Amino acid sequence: MKVILAQPRGFCAGVVRAIDIVERALATCDAPVYVRHEIVHNRHVVDGLKARGARFVEELDEIPGDAVAIFSAHGVSRAVESEAADRKLRVIDATCPLVTKVHNQGQRYASLGRTVLFIGHAGHPEVEGTLGRITGTVHLVESREDVLGLPIPDDTPVAYITQTTLSVDDTRQTIEAIQKRFSDVIGPETRDICYATQNRQTAVRNLCRHIDVLLVVGSANSSNSNRLREIGEELGIPSYLVADGRQVDPAWLVGKETIGITAGASAPDVLVDDVVGALAKLGPVEIQALQGVEEKITFRLPRELLEAS
């Protein structure tokens, strides 16, 4: 069979930075190092860091006083920051800089006296963190219907911001609904939306023109990985989310000649290799990489880690 790899796929700069932060903290700080929530949404990555000594917790009260506490790439609320300061935890913030940018945009809009409409998925860690960082009136909207149901006058000055794991395509209809309903609307330029999310979705749309079935490598709780699978389905391609090669079902491939593979922004290349290896066990495989955007963006590490290393 022919296997075509999407480009770009896998780790984005924010995920690389977050993992690097934990690894450097393990190398330079007194053990143990605690991480609030999964550093990124990938079990393989989390288990690898656990094996090296990282301890993952859900809440700060599980961390002993004066210990090193790392905030995940998804960001945290001001309340979590304050609790960490009160307990004198040694905090290292691994929040993705693009998530921080959304926080700052939302607060700037609120400071202008606008009602902030946050386009995102309820319950996602990034959404919970962002909602807890904006001082002012904020409404979470997930769809056009949510916009129409907002209990505020149509002449209310509003501003919108978006969850970083949503692309321009994901948010277009909701933004159009906001602009159609409200007479005074501002929001970020489309180029401010996470480059990695948009690039991976564009790559999948291109990939689906050439394949018979799509395999998305990523964890079940990864928002951007699930969206990649949904895009494949929307384009009429049988699409499956797999954590690794063990989850590949040979029945999916019966009668299929060309298999497309991509990976969510929190899935490492080693898992893509594992899926390719699983396919190779079923028969000869010809691998081709699709041309696409080459990402060269990197994010600076926190100063305290740079100084320590």
Which domains occur in the chain, in start order? 2-10+195-289 (3.40.1010.20), 13-96+300-308 (3.40.50.11270), 98-192 (3.40.1010.20)
**pLDDT number for residue 309:** 66
For residue 98, how many C-alpha atoms fall within 13 Å in the half-sphere facing its CB? 22
Place of tokens 């807890």: 132
What tokens does 265 get?
């922004």
53: CB partners within 8 A, 6+ apart: 26, 31, 32, 33
The pTM of this model reads 0.92
| b/e map 93-110, b = 16+ CB within 10 Å | bbbbebbbebbebbbebb
Between CA 24 and CA 306 the distance in angstroms is 9
Q: Which residues are bridge partners to 70 per DSSP?
A: 35, 92
Cα-based torsion angle of the residue sequence 21, 191, 176, 140 in order, rounded to the nearest 10 degrees: 20
The C-alpha angle with vertex 9 and arms to 5 and 14, in degrees rounded to 5, equals: 170
Cis previous bond, 268, omega within 30: no
pLDDT at 66 (0 to 100): 87
Hey, CA dihedral for 159, 165, 168, 172, is it positive or negative? negative
Please identify every residue annotated as catalytic: 126
Ranges of the chain whose pLDDT falls below 50: none
Cα(28)–Cα(298) distance, integer angstroms? 22
What's the confidence (pLDDT) of residue 123?
A: 93
234-237 own/partner pairs: CB under 8 Å, 24+ apart: 235/205, 235/208, 237/208, 237/211, 237/212, 237/213
Helix, strand, or coil here: 55?
A: strand
HSE of 33, CA atoms in CB hemisphere, 13 A? 25
pLDDT value at residue 192: 67
What is the predicted pLDDT for the residue at 191?
66
